Amino acid sequence: LALALAVMETRRVPADAKAMIGIVATSFVLYTLFAHGLTLRPLIGLLGLNRLSPRELAVRNRAMALALADSREHVRAVAEEHDLSHGVRDEAEAQFGGRLGTLEQSLETDCALDEDARMEMGLVTLAGREERLYLGLLDENLVSRQVVQRLRAIAGRLGDGARSAGRDGYLRAAVAALDHAQGFRFAIWASRHLRWHRPLRSLLSQRFEMLMASRVVLRDLVNFAENRLGALLGAAYAGRIVAVLNDRRFAVEQALEALRQQFPDYARGLERGYVGRAALRQELAAYRALHEEGVISQDVLNDLEREVGHRWRVFEMVPTLDLGLDAARLVARVPMFAGLGAASLQNIARHLRPGLAMPDEVLVRRGERGEEMYFVASGEVEVRNPDTLPQPIRLGAGDFFGELALLTRQPRSADVVALTYCQLLVLDRRAVTQLFREDPSLRDHIRAVAQNRMAAERAAE
Ligand code: CMP
């Protein structure tokens, strides 16, 4: 056709020839469409291209079994609701039951869906459902749009993981989702070095919200897997999928607990808001149902909705997350500084850099040069050196680390890793010198502890 059009646009081609080319081209196109339309379908059928693959067939049968089981339940409910005679009910039930029985028999012996395929199918189904559930939370205004977008992206990655590497891929994506992602790296840096805490604060409160939403959704998914996936995949596989989900739930619970430990007030505020909004949603639904049933008029409903709207606003106010990174407040939490006078404390607080560490963050790396030491104001860290320490050593609020490299000018003697969220006070060499000048007894104490630690290291070597 394109060729014919091009010819017809050319002036040098005589009009008769143009007309003929137009007719021939159009007829040819119409003929091929007609011929293909009629012959392609039988040809596809003849070659068997329209047949489902064994795997698709197995999935189809399982989906059918699931729907039949549901329909049988439904028949029973409808029969009871409409007071149908037992005969009619039994007949309908037997019809569904018979089909279901034959199908179930074929499912027992069906080996088209191997183990990996079943796991993949179950996990992909779950990831799709997870995405939809997050949208539901957004519709109900229980979770912010930004958080839902991030959660949906994570659910998408879970599905991709399951498709590409089955259970392992799904689990890998689940672990990565709980990581403190790249955004955190910049936020932590800005908070520690520029004392600009806003990005960190907003990422942490977003993490809180994401974990809370995940917890709600995971509970639903476990329910779904227990009650619905069994029919689709077989009970044993559904059980395995429930185990995967329970692992995820455990990890989410742990991550949430870690945040709650560090920011209990914020957690309480956030949970109060969530529960309050969920309760108001219920209340609103109840009013709307009463209106639909004709119990209350439109005016009454409007009035009630307005009232719920007022209360909603109270629960919508998200509390501000206080990172608690005020140097003076943190200094007061380290008993070792108790001996200093108010003036010295103020002086030292100016040289201290407060910082928040994330769980699993490596704060000090063995073998590196060190120009800073750290006081733990809250949380727990672990000193790790498999060569000299048979067991890692835990340090908590009031303890310090990183002093050895500073005092001996040797490379760092061990890794120090945060186990929980920690509030730290970081001192550079200048601040340490000043601190030692201000409080000689503190200096002696730190030196004594350092001597003991070095002795322990030497003994192990
Ligand atoms: P530094 O060598 O600068 O970096 C690693 C830190 O781990 C080290 O300082 C100490 O603060 C700490 N550390 C090393 N060995 C021990 C130990 N045996 N007990 C407690 N803390 C230690």
pLDDT digits (tens, 9 = 90+) for 167-194: 999 999 999 999 987 789 899 999 988 8
Question: CA of 275: how far to CAs of 138, 205, 307, in Å?
Answer: 15, 17, 18
Q: Worst-scoring range by mean pLDDT, 19-33, 83-97, 204-218?
A: 83-97
CA of 53 to the centre of ligand 1 (A): 62
Closest-lying ligand 1 atom to the alpha carbon of residue 412: 2
Instruction: Tell me the average pLDDT across 368-375.
Output: 94
Instruction: Tell how far the Cα of 373 is from the centroid of ligand 1, in angstroms.
Output: 10
Minimal-distance CA residue to ligand 1 atom 12: 401
Token pair of 214 as six digits: 């995940």
CA 262 to ligand 1 center in whole angstroms: 24
Q: What pLDDT sits at residue 449?
A: 94
pLDDT digits (tens, 9 = 90+) for 379-433: 999 999 999 888 999 999 999 999 999 999 999 999 999 999 999 999 999 889 8
- Packed helices 298-316 and 264-292: angle between N→C axes, nearest 10 degrees: 170
Report the predicted TM-score, pTM, of the whole model to 2 decimal places.
Answer: 0.76
User: Can you give the pLDDT at residue 244?
Assistant: 95
Number of H-type helices and E-type strands within the chain? 17, 8
Residue 364: CB within 6 Å of ligand 1?
yes
Q: What is the pLDDT of residues 305-327, one digit of tens each?
A: 999 999 988 888 778 898 988 88
Query: How far is 206 from 208, CA to CA, in rounded Å?
Result: 5
Give residue 2's pLDDT. 83
Mean pLDDT of the region 70-93: 80
Q: Check pLDDT > 90 for residue 220.
A: yes
Q: From CA 357, how far away is CA 419, in angstroms rounded?
A: 9
- Residue 203: pLDDT band (50, 70, 90) is very high
What is the C-alpha to C-alpha distance for residues 118 and 126, in angstroms, rounded to an integer?
12
Structure tokens at 100: 């279901």
pLDDT band at 109 (very low <50, low <70, confident <90, very high): low
Axis-axis angle for helices 54-81, 86-109 (nearest 10): 160
| Cβ contacts of 118 within 8 Å, gap of 6 or more | 233, 234, 237
Indicate if the pLDDT at residue 131 is higher than 80: yes
Identify the residue with better confidence: 289 or 341: 289
Angle (CA) 331-332-335 rounded to 5° is 95
- Ligand 1 and 296: CB distance under 6 A: no
> Residue 351, by phi and psi: left (phi above 0), alpha (psi -120 to 50) or beta?
alpha
Order of strands, edge to edge, in the sheet holding 393-395?
362-364, 415-418, 381-384, 393-395
Residue-level length of the chain: 461
Q: How far is the CA of 401 from the centre of ligand 1 (A)?
A: 6
User: Of 121-125, 221-225, 252-256, 297-301, which gets the smallest average pLDDT?
Assistant: 121-125
Token pair belonging to 81: 């609701």
Q: 3-state DSSP helix/strand/coil percent for the chain, to nearest 5? A: 70, 10, 20
Q: Which position has the higher pLDDT, 436 or 362?
A: 362
Interval 129-153 mean pLDDT: 93
Residue 349 CA to ligand 1 center (angstroms) comes to 24
Whether the CB-CB separation of 100 and 58 falls below 8 Å is answered with no
* pLDDT at res. 74: 80
pLDDT value at position 382?
A: 97
Query: Which residue has tokens 């014919």?
Result: 4
Distances (CA, A) of 247 to 45, 174, 276: 47, 10, 29
Q: Is the minimum distance from the CB of 161 to ligand 1 under 6 angstroms?
A: no
Mean pLDDT across the chain, nearest whole number? Answer: 88
* Three-state secondary-structure class, residue 257: helix
Is 80 exceeded by the pLDDT of residue 72? no
What is the percent of the chain where pLDDT is above 70? 98
* H/E stretch holding 400: strand 400-401
To test ligand 1's pocket by mutation, which of 365, 368, 410, 453 has the most ligand atoms within 8 angstroms of CB? 453
